[in-house]
Amino acid sequence: MKPLIKLTGFVKSCLLLLPITFLFYPFTKLMLFLSYLNKLLVWIYGNKKKFEYREPVAFNRNYNNRYNLYKYISDNYLKDNSEIVYLEFGVAGGTSFKWWLNENKNDSSRFYGFDTFEGLPENWGMFFRKGDMQHQESQVQDNRVKFVKGLFQDTLVPFIQENRGDLKSAVRKIVHMDADLYSSTIFVLTQLYPYLQPGDIILFDEFNVPLHEFKAFNEFTKAFYIELKPLGAVNNYLQVAFVVK
């Protein structure tokens, strides 16, 4: 072991003097993408049989299939219209948010929607630029609802301080991650970790994007040793749900 450690140190010293790895720098993003794409595929093939609800892989994705997943969760985990605390990160036009609001009629349920409502705070992949996906703040007439406007990095910590009662209660939480970005997703997951309890449900809306939601999921579960049980997957693992064990 010691000779190997010395060899590693020697190689690092050589690279500091003659950084030949700079030759590979132009390909860094490509190599990182391929690395996480392979991690994603390995994860899917290693876990696909563990899902309770899983639609077959299809060449044509139907975004409305996500409602099949929502309905499965509601019918099997939220029976008798049970009370929930619903937190959605990335409300956009509010389609998913309103679905859950209409599905769960329990007067004691609370629904929190987080968004800048000014579009993406940074570029997302190759196709979406900062400011894309801008939406007006949703107008919902329901006293169970509260929208929190701003960057998650600015709004979530104060929200947690003000709403610890909801977050620490025994009521099941549904955390809907539709933030798209790695930076947003990893921040939210790490901040909510102390309040996650067995039975809570985490939904990812772009799980199969290797360098964003999947990367955040992968790092979060490894860093915090948290076990998330696969629950359901639709649209070629684009929308994926887990139960906290």
What is the pLDDT at residue 136? 64
The band of 80, judged by pLDDT with boundaries at 50, 70 and 90, is confident
Position 101 pLDDT exceeds 80? yes
Instruction: Provide the b/e sequence for 162-173 (b: ≥16 CB within 10 Å).
Output: ebeebbeeebbb
pLDDT for position 120: 62
Element (H, E) at 54: strand 53-54
Contact in structure between 84 and 171 (CB atoms under 8 Å)? yes
Nearest CA-CA partner of 209 in 186, 234, 182: 182
pTM for the complete prediction? 0.88
Q: Write the pLDDT tens digit of every residue in 205-239.
A: 999 999 999 999 999 999 999 999 999 999 999 99
Q: What is the pLDDT of the chain when averaged over all its residues?
A: 90
Which pLDDT score, from 0 to 100, does residue 127 have?
60
Confidence band (pLDDT; 50, 70, 90) for 130? low
- Identity at 24, one-letter amino acid code: F
141 pLDDT above the threshold of 90: no
Q: What pLDDT band is residue 3 in, cutting at 50, 70 and 90?
A: confident
> What is the crossing angle of helices 28-47 and 215-224, to 10°?
70
Strand order of the sheet with strand 228-234?
Answer: 53-54, 228-234, 239-244, 201-204, 172-177, 84-89, 110-115, 145-149
More confident residue, 3 or 44: 44
pLDDT at 22: 86
Beta strand pairing call for 239-244 and 228-234: antiparallel
Whole-angstrom Cα distance, residue 245 to residue 242? Answer: 9
Q: Mean per-residue pLDDT for 95-116?
A: 95
With bands split at pLDDT 50, 70 and 90, how would you rate the model's confidence at 119?
low
Q: Which of 136, 137, 88 is nearest to 112 (CA)?
A: 88
Residues 120, 97: Cα–Cα separation, whole Å:
18
Q: Element (H or E) spanning 67, and its range?
A: helix 66-77
Q: Is pLDDT larger for residue 136 or for residue 19?
A: 19
Q: Average pLDDT for residues 78-93, to the nearest whole number? A: 91
Q: Annotate 167-184 with DSSP letters as a single string.
A: HHSSSEEEEEE---SHHH
- The pLDDT of 115-141, averaged and rounded, is 64
Q: Any bridge partners for residue 174, and if so which?
A: 86, 201
Q: How confident is the model at residue 180 (pLDDT cuts 50, 70, 90)?
A: confident
CATH class of residue range 51-244: alpha beta
- Judged against a pLDDT cut of 60, whether residue 40 lies above it is answered with yes
Q: What is the pLDDT of residue 49?
A: 95
Whether 201 shows a pLDDT value over 90: the answer reads: yes
Q: Per-residue confidence at 116, pLDDT binned at 50, 70, 90?
A: confident
The ranges assigned to domains in the chain are 2-31, 51-244
Q: Which residues of 39-74 are buried (b: 16+ CB within 10 A; e: fewer)?
A: ebeebbeeeeeebebbbeeeeeeeeebbbbbbebbb
